[in-house]
Chains A and B, each alone.
Chain A
Amino acid sequence: MANAVIHGQVTRDWRPALRRPRRTTVVALALLAPSLIFLALFTYWPVLQVLWQSLHNQIRIGGPQTYVGGGNFAKLAADPAFRKALSNNLIYAFGTVIPSLVLALGFAMALARSSRVNALFRALFFLPVLIPLVAAASIFLFIFLPGVGLLDYHLAKLALSGPNWLGDPDIALYAIMGLTIWKNAGYYMLFFLAGLQAVPADAYEAAILDGAGPWQRLAYITLPYLKPTIGFVMVIGLLNVVTQVDHVFVLTKGGPSDSTNLLLFYVYQQAVESYDAGKAAAGTLVMLALLLAISASSLRTLERSFGERET
């Protein structure tokens, strides 16, 4: 009797359970299919292709691909231009992400209170974010122009003379970093403005009662509350450092003597100018590894914000 009841329950539960998931699975896959097709074509397949290419090489044009193992990576490591691009990218990362972050935080803190004037200034800082990087580079081409350019013209009025901003291998990368900071600080400011709204006003009031000065309040209240925002902005900044090189193309083409070459521009050169598919693939893999390392550090945040891991 009890057995029959259990048995009956089981069959009653089983039938719909068997049919319904299958239907929703079909529907779900049909809904995901359009995205998956394009992801497969332009995200998964290229990664596999690059993996394969980085291990193979074409001896002569039109000839068969031969397995060369780590040959392409050895070639890459031996290429002074690649080593230069890698170290440039490192300097560029530190030299743009940290100053933009500090500036963005400063802007946000100064302009956090909503007022009409502050809204205007926030908009001003945000304007560079909206113009194409290529357009920004076109403007900075004149700013950095030796002699009659905007920077030198106004330095001359102060009886100073600037270096050859884009022509001097020791200066050019820093000039380009100036452009990047100008372009991105306003974007990061938005995140700090949003982050500052979460800092409770009583925390400041309590700190003021305790006699904490402005720097102490910054160190013990604002920064701890903004920790997640800082980490997040850092990740976005580092991703930008790897993926945005349009200004290098317009301003210097990586020169003089590779002093402003960055990884992505190097890969572009290998593929489009030197037709070295093996080196380009190996270089791409290096960048993919960097991107994975950068975003893996924020994977937890990504999962949480998109809710695959509920909090």
Chain B
Amino acid sequence: MSGTGTGVATGEFSPKLGYGATLLVAGLWMTPFVWMLVAAFNPQSIGAGMASLIPDYVPTLANFREAWASADFPRYGLNTLVITLGILAVQLVTVTLAGYAFARLEFPGRSLFFYLFLLQLMLAPVVLIVPNLTTIATLGLYDSLVGVMAPYFASAFGTFLMRQAFRAIPRELEDAALIDGASVLQRIRLIYLPLAKPSLIAFSIVSVTAHWNEFLWPLMVINSPDLRPLTVGLASFTRGAEGAQAWGVIAAGTLMVSAPLLIAFALFQRAFVNSFVSSGIK
């Protein structure tokens, strides 16, 4: 660990030790993924050989078939897709409108509203799961996908991100449209949104990743097995397969749940990295 400290940024000077140590740690970092792949395609699922990291077998899809048969992954996947895209769709509207108001309008109480939004950034919604469950039940949304989505429809992070993107757009463009008699919504749609595309994409990636991976809140809201998202489905599937010691099947199930985001990352690496850096509000 201390060896990595010598790999000073510019790399002009004696970084070899730190660099070597980092590559070693990278091997360690990859081990869980390597195991998952090796175990998932193993024709066996139980037994002493499951800890091997070298695939000394003819790969089969048997574990995937077994996982597929013992849990309704397609349905969980569909639920997750509905949840993530549903949240994103509503967020894009709320965040754009509020972002524009903060970026371009002068109104009394603007600072107050700013801090009211900031409060959401400070009080992470997941901490409020207990009282929010009561609210969801009161609204009649218990055990529904909308119930899982609702607490995330407003996003302070997204609002502030859009506000910054909108502020960077020259006012003259809007003034020209104003002279042509365009309404506020038309101006946002035709001028601001197209120019703020990078921020929209950055926000979308962060939002989809966060809600794709979310567990505790959907676990509390969803009761019916056929409304479970992937994470909740995987947890209960793992519990069942753990009892049977079916490690190859667990690896296959885990791989299926993790694969969509990993593939998306492989395809759009730069966009992912940029949006994750912006998620850390510097």
A residues contacting B by CB (< 8 A) are 21, 24-25, 27-29, 31-32, 34-39, 41-47, 49-50, 53, 99, 102-103, 105-113, 121-143, 145, 148-150, 152-154, 182, 186-187, 190-191, 194, 196, 199, 201, 204, 208, 214-215, 217-218, 222, 228-229, 232-233, 236, 239, 242-246, 249-250, 264, 267-268, 271-272, 277, 280-281, 284, 287-288, 291-292, 295-296, 299, 301-303, 305-308
Contact = CB atoms under 8 A, between A and B. Distances in A.
Contact of B1 (A106, A112, A127): A106
Contacts of B108: 21, 25
A121 B22 contact: yes
Contacts of A32: 97-98, 101, 113
A287 B125 CA distance: 12
A222 B9 contact: yes
Interface in B228-261: 230-231, 234-235, 238-239, 242, 247, 250-251, 253-254, 257-258, 261
Contact of B31 (A27, A31, A150): A150
A83 B128 CA distance: 20
Interface string B253-282: 110011001100100010011001100111
Given A43-B120, A110-B4, A295-B121, A182 B32 contact: yes
A222 B2 CA distance: 15
A139 B4 CA distance: 27
A127 B33 CA distance: 9
26 contacts: A34-B153, A38-B151, A41-B135, A50-B131, A109-B8, A110-B7, A121-B26, A129-B276, A130-B262, A131-B213, A133-B213, A134-B231, A134-B234, A138-B253, A139-B251, A214-B13, A214-B14, A217-B8, A243-B124, A246-B215, A250-B239, A268-B129, A281-B130, A305-B281, A306-B118, A308-B111
A49 B132 CA distance: 9
B51 A43 contact: no
A100 B169 CA distance: 38
Q: By DSSP majority rule, is chain A's interface helix, strand, loop, or mixed?
A: helix
B88 interface: no
Given A39-B116, A39-B119, A132-B231, 9 more contacts: A34-B153, A35-B117, A49-B135, A109-B8, A110-B18, A139-B251, A204-B12, A222-B8, A306-B118
B133 interface: yes
B53 to A, nearest CB: 8
A42 B251 CA distance: 36
